[in-house]
Chains A and B, each alone.
Chain A
Amino acid sequence: MTATSLQPKSLTTDARVRVRAKRLVLYTILVSVTGLFLGPFGWLILSGLKTQGELAASPVHWLPDVFQWHNFADAFHQIDFLGYARNSLVIALIYATLVTLSSAWVGFGFARLDAPGKKVLFGVLLGSMMLPQMVTLLPTYLIFAKVGMVDTYWPWVLWGLSAAPYLVFLFRQFFAGMPRELEEAAIVDGCGYATIFWRIFLPQSWPVLSASFIIAFTWTWGDYIAPQLLLSTDRTTLAVAVMTAYVNDGGTPVPELQAAASVMYVVPILLIFLIAQRGFVAGMSTSGLK
């Protein structure tokens, strides 16, 4: 073999090795980062399967000697788990349904209609997204207390009816992209805008409607502070119950039941996300930029 024929051949093998090495590094990074990201949730599940002794053991007791599946049943019975889950569900359904409809309604206005002051209002809408909710929530709580709406679900009805800027923006982007002819023909036919919205635009916006509904549902299901402030221990949501109710008579926490309960609290949200992933992600990323 001469040097000339060897040279290009070894270069290609070299390049191939380099590509393969690069790919190996990439997969190693991805797999380890993914492992790290799943770690906390895995640990939560493992903790929910241990005994209290194992959970307090030092040094760490990596795996339970016997998987304590009954922890999940116990967590169900130690508190009125189903009752709290129902409260969460009711609040989340009320809010998600109302806020999706109201945001679609408002979004339609911003996308398809004009009036003096529209620019300013839209600016205020975008600006209000920057407003930390915590700043308004605390005084809102005082007002709700004053008008006797504490320990009722009315706050969620009102919040739902008044549309969420984030979702309004989502709908506005979607409706603005629909062809003009849609409503022009309907106007000529004598339809009012409400009819146009309800009969023509809404039925075509299932992707956004479902994305909005799921986003709003997960917000409410995950919200800890509003129900903690506004609702009493009986009427409160699963988020608050999981956080605070797993204590024994002496007031000390029961971590294995709390872990099991929080797995049962989190899994529905993960399932909803996995099932509706596409719309959810599309919704998140649209609102992010465009």
Chain B
Amino acid sequence: MFPVLYKEVKKMATNLIKSKTPPNKRKIFFVKRETLDGWLFVLPVVILTLVFLIGPILVAFMLSFKEYSFLDAGTMFDAKWVGLSNYTDIFKDKIFRKALLNTSIYSLGVVPIQLTLALSLALVVNSKIKGKSFFRTAYYIPTQTSTVAVAVMFLFIFKSDGLLNKFLGIFGLPAYSWLNDVRFALPSIMTMAIWSSIGLYMVIFLAGLQEIPDSLYEAANIDGANKWQSFWFVTFPMLKETFFFNLVVSMIGTFQVFDQAYIVSNGNGGPLNSTMTMVLYLYRTGFREFKMGYASAIAFVLAIIIFILTLVQKKLFGEENQM
């Protein structure tokens, strides 16, 4: 009796388990398990994005058509609508134009030098050089350093009786007060930026280089290509995607320059606005002059400039890219 019953129960149980739908197809409260799982996994990020990104973007958009100060008695929703006047004011604003010019010079100077040096260094640490890991670490360390620390270190080295002038003095070159000189303040900040961010681009180039299959080089070698030819005809085309990625990231980064300019000029963009960048100006109007509507409009102009530049680069370099 019992063995038979036991067998029956066991059979039923096995059938029950076998017929069970796989866990990800099961339904909980009429919602597919898969759907519930998916939303649970993205939920924290969705909430954070709504509260700290999408919401603020919409508010910034609204503010950019208003005249609002943080110190106003009313809330920002009561603030006066001023139509497009914040945007039209921007283009009449001399300091903004100076900031746009400075930021463009900064970007045009930093991006090509930074990427060329980063690629050269990536080739160095990807070669059979002795002490490879030492060089890789040495080249990356500046990237690991805070922009504040970098700015302060360079202030020390660039000061009028600092290491740089002493060094130039050896060759009989004149000493300058680099960061207090209208001509040299911006190039000095550019030097800092190049020095401190090369490592990141180098590492990304390195990752790209390591993905190029050796067979391509071997084939080029068999075809009688020398080192330069295999660089131009194998490495360079194979790095196109990596190059595009670095170009976009570097360009976006340079248009958002703030820290160095702030620290070097104590937040004023001096001397004579020569280190005034767009984000520094945005900071100054928003958080020192409390013109928050105007600051929001500046932020959107910056976003549009970055967006257009990204599109242009995509057209030029990244046809088949999906970024």
A, B assembled together? no
Q: Which positions in A face B, CB cutoff 8 Å?
A: none
